[in-house]
Amino acid sequence: MDMAGSVDFSAANAKSTAQLRVKEPPVEFTKPLQDQTVEEESTATLECEVSRENAEVRWFKDEQEIHKTKKYEIITDDKHTLTIKDCSLADEGEYTAMAGDSKSTAELIISELDAKLLAGLTANAGSKIELPAEVKGKPEPRVKWTKADLVLKPDDRVSIDTKPGHSTVTIAKTTRDDTSTYIIEATNSSGRATATVDVNILGKINE
């Protein structure tokens, strides 16, 4: 807010008047927004603080202004808060708080997690098999394979290729000892997801 007025100066029989304007400093964000990662159907809260108590703060998602609705709750107190209820993947994006010419921006990420494997596999001893898995998650999940209750590790016959979106176990020169239940486990901030596949190798042991 600008303040204006006049100031009179007098000396003997002389008088002078000048206009005085006091301009408030621009609003600054003393506590900017922080990136948030939440699960689907949960509530996300974005908070910020500004340098001027009476400053108006407006909220935007991907450059579209947000107004108070059943979906969005906007609170102006010591902090300026935007609450997003029942989050879905459609709520992902960039959120901005604007106060005058100043702004603060944060990213909202809706985390997800899923793992899928083929239903089952039967092969002859001595053949090569592949166990491809589809792994989806935000943030990118950590992946672990187990055979029965033992962690599966690469060796001269077993290789594990994990890239964003999928992970594949390849077993060369299979034997009856490779018959088992294989489990892929994916974990991130959303929790844990698993998928299993039963492998049956036909033929003599160590053939």
Q: Read off the pLDDT of residues 120-167 as tens digits, 9 standing for 90 and up.
A: 899 999 999 999 999 988 888 999 999 988 999 999 999 999 999 999
Q: Read off the pLDDT of residues 60-99 as tens digits, 9 standing for 90 and up.
A: 998 899 999 999 999 998 899 999 999 998 999 999 999 9
Q: Where in the chain is the domain with CATH 2.60.40.10?
A: 29-111, 118-202
pLDDT band at 14 (very low <50, low <70, confident <90, very high): low
Main-chain phi, psi angles of 38, to 5 degrees: -135, 165
Q: What is the CATH number of domain 29-111?
A: 2.60.40.10
Instruction: Judge whether 169 and 182 are in contact, CB under 8 Å.
Output: yes
Spell out the CATH class of 118-202. mainly beta
Q: Read off the pLDDT of residues 18-57 as tens digits, 9 standing for 90 and up.
A: 565 656 678 899 999 999 988 888 999 999 999 988 889 9
User: How confident is the model at residue 207, as a pLDDT?
Assistant: 44
29 to 32, 37, 56, 66, 100: CA distances (angstroms): 6, 22, 12, 19, 11
Q: Does the pTM of the predicted model rise above 0.85? A: no
